[in-house]
Amino acid sequence: MLKGLFSFRDRYRILHQTWFAFFLTFVCWFNFAPFATTIGKELDLAPEQIKTLGICNLALTIPARLIIGMLLDRFGPRITYSILLMFAAVPCLATALSQDFNQLVISRLLMGIVGSGFVVGIRMVAEWFPPKEMGSAQGIYGGWGNFGAFGAEFALPMLAVATSFLSGGASNWRLAIALTGIVAAIYGVIYYNSVQDTPTGKVYKKPKKNGALEVTSIKSFWAMILSNFGLIFALGLLAWRLEQKNIHFLNLSQMYLVWVLLAGLFAYQTYKAYQVNKELLIGTPLATTGGTPATQWLKKTYPLAQRYQFGQVALLEFTYITNFGSELAAVSMLPAFFEKTFALEHVLASMIAATYPFLNLISRPSGGLISDKLGSRKWTMTIVSAGIGVGYLMTHFINSSWPIPLAIAVTMFAAYFAQAGCGATYGIVPLIKKEATGQIAGNVGAYGNFGGVVYLTIFSLTDASTLFTTMGVAALICAFMCGFFLKEPKGSFAGAYEGESSETTAPPAPMLAEE
Q: What is the pLDDT of residues 95-154, one digit of tens each?
A: 999 998 889 999 999 998 998 888 899 889 988 888 888 888 888 898 888 788 778 877
| 442 pLDDT above the threshold of 60 | yes
The per-residue pLDDT for 264 is 94
| Chain CA centroid to CA 36, Å | 22
Q: How high is the pLDDT of residue 1?
A: 57
Domains within the chain, CATH numbers bracketed: 2-194+215-282+305-489 (1.20.1250.20)
Angle between helices 101-114 and 61-75 (to 10 degrees): 30
Residue pLDDT, tens place only, 281-300: 887 776 555 555 555 677 78
CB 31 within 8 A of CB 79: no
CA dihedral 508, 509, 511, 515 (to 10 degrees): 180
Q: In this structure, are residues 302 and 216 in contact, taking their beta carbons and an 8 Å threshold? A: yes
The whole-number pLDDT of residue 249 equals 76
Confidence band, pLDDT 50/70/90 cuts, at residue 221: very high
For a pLDDT cut of 90, what percent of the chain falls above it? 33
**181-200 confidence digits (pLDDT tens):** 999 999 999 999 999 988 88
Are the C-beta atoms of residues 280 and 215 closer than 8 Å to each other? yes
Query: Is it the case that residue 238 has pLDDT exceeding 50?
Result: yes
168 DSSP 8-state letter: T
Virtual torsion, Cα 370, 306, 123, 81, nearest 10 deg: -150
**Residue 289, C-beta contacts closer than 8 angstroms, at least 6 positions apart:** none
Q: What is the pLDDT of residues 319-360, one digit of tens each?
A: 999 999 998 888 888 888 898 899 888 778 878 887 887 888
Cα separation of 93 and 174, whole Å? 8
pLDDT band with cut points at 50, 70 and 90 for residue 506 = very low
The secondary element (H helix, E strand) that includes residue 33 is none
- Whether the per-residue pLDDT at 509 is higher than 80: the answer is no
Q: At what angle do helices 10-29 and 117-128 cross, to 10 degrees?
A: 170
Summarize the confidence of residues 34-38 as an average pLDDT: 84
Q: How far apart are CA 340 and CA 276, in angstroms?
A: 51
pLDDT in the model for residue 67: 85
| pLDDT (average), residues 447-452 | 88
Band (514; pLDDT cuts 50, 70, 90)? very low
Measuring CA to CA, which residue among 224, 221, 254 is closest to residue 238? 254
- How confident is the prediction for the chain on average, in pLDDT? 84
Q: So what's the pLDDT on residue 446?
A: 85
The pLDDT, as a whole number, for residue 495 is 59
